[in-house]
Amino acid sequence: MIGAGGFVGRHVTRRLSGGDEPVRALVRDRRRFAAPAGVEVVEGDVTRPASLDAAMAGASSVVHTAAITGNLKEPYRGAYDAVHRGGAENVVAAARGAGVGRIVLMSGLGTVPAPDGTYMATRWGMEEAVRAGGIPFVIIQPSVQFGPGAEFIAALARLARRSPVVPLLGGGGLRFQPIWVEDVVTCVERALVDDELTGRTIAVGGSEYATFREVIETILAVLGRRRLLAPLPLPIARLQARLMTALLPHPPLTPATIELFSFENFTDLDAVEKNFGFRPAAFREYLLAHGVEADEDGPTPGGPRS
C-alpha cells in the first residue's frame, strides 16, 4: 500500500487489514501513522527510489494512492510532477524489480493529456507511467469523494460555518458525482482480484449528480445555516488563487483547484454497478443521515454499506 497515510490510503489500508492477505504500508513518517493491527509499516517516499525496495519485497500486488491533492499548494516548484509522474515511474520500476504482479492506481475523474506545467499534466503523467510499466494494472478515476476525512466536504463546511458569503466557483453550475470513500475502497478491493478489469482505466462516481451549488446547499441544510451564495467567475478565482498561493503558506484556493473546476466531474450513473457489481451510496442521503462531521472528525461506525 503506497501512500497509506493519505486520505484514500488510510481507508484502503484499514479495509485490507481485515482480509486474509498480509498488508504492508509505505508512509513517509511512521510516527504520524496509526497502523491497523497486523499491518507492517515501512518508511519511504515515492520520490526516493531506493526507499521503495523494502516496501516491494515479496509483494504480489501494489495499491498506489500517493499524490498531492489539488487543494494543496505545491511545496516546491516541480513537486506535483516529481510526486505524480516521477513517483509513479519509481513505484513501477521498484515493483517490476520485485516481481509484483499487479498495480492498482488511484487517479482522478477527468484526467486527460494537458499542457506541460499544469497540474493535470502531472496526473496524466502518473497514469501513463503505470500504463507503460509492463505490469498488469487497473486505474481507478473517482469523482470528488465524501466520507470520514474527505477534505472536499470538510473545507466547504468550514467555509459555510465561518463566512456569511459562500463563493460559487464558476457560478456553481459545474456538475460532480460525489462518491463515498468506502465505495472507492470496494472498487480497489475488486480491482486487486478481478482479471476482467486488468488493463482498464475506469471512471467512477456515486449514484447521483450534484452541481457545486447543490453540494453547498446540501451542506448548509445539514448545518442548519443560511448563507449568501455569490457566483465567482473562474477568471477572477484564478487570479485570486495565484495571489493567495504566492502570499500564503496554506492558501484556501490554489491554481490546481481552479484547473479541476474547469471541466465537468461526472461519468455514467451506473459506472460502479456496471464495472464493480454494486450500487454506490447516495451523497445527499449520506450527509443528511451522518452530517458533515463524519467527513471532518473520523470514521462513523455503522455508515452506509453497498
Average pLDDT, the chain: 94
Q: Which H or E run includes 200?
A: strand 200-204
Whether residue 302 has pLDDT greater than 80? no
Measured CA to CA, the distance from residue 204 to residue 217 in angstroms comes to 23
Burial class (CB in 10 A: 0-12, 13-18, 19+), 138: buried
At residue 292, the pLDDT reads 86
pLDDT tens digit string along 209-256?
A: 999 999 999 999 999 999 999 999 999 999 999 999 999 999 999 999
At residue 293, the pLDDT reads 72
At residue 203, the pLDDT reads 98
Short-list 61, 86, 59, 83, CA closest to 70? 83
Measured CA to CA, the distance from residue 28 to residue 137 in angstroms comes to 24
At residue 303, the pLDDT reads 31
For 98, the grid coordinates are 520485485
Which residue type is seen at 218?
A: T
| Helical ranges in the chain per DSSP H | 7-16, 53-56, 79-81, 87-97, 119-131, 151-162, 181-193, 212-223, 234-247, 255-260, 271-276, 283-290, 293-297
Q: Could you count the other beta carbons within 10 Å of the beta carbon of residue 99? A: 12
At residue 300, the pLDDT reads 34
Short-list 161, 197, 159, CA closest to 276? 197
Arithmetic mean of pLDDT, 158-162: 94
pTM score above 0.75: yes
Measured CA to CA, the distance from residue 208 to residue 221 in angstroms comes to 18
pLDDT tens digit string along 31-79?
A: 999 999 999 999 999 999 999 999 999 999 999 999 999 999 999 999 9
At residue 295, the pLDDT reads 63
Q: Residue 294 — very low, low, confident or very high, per pLDDT cuts 50/70/90?
A: low
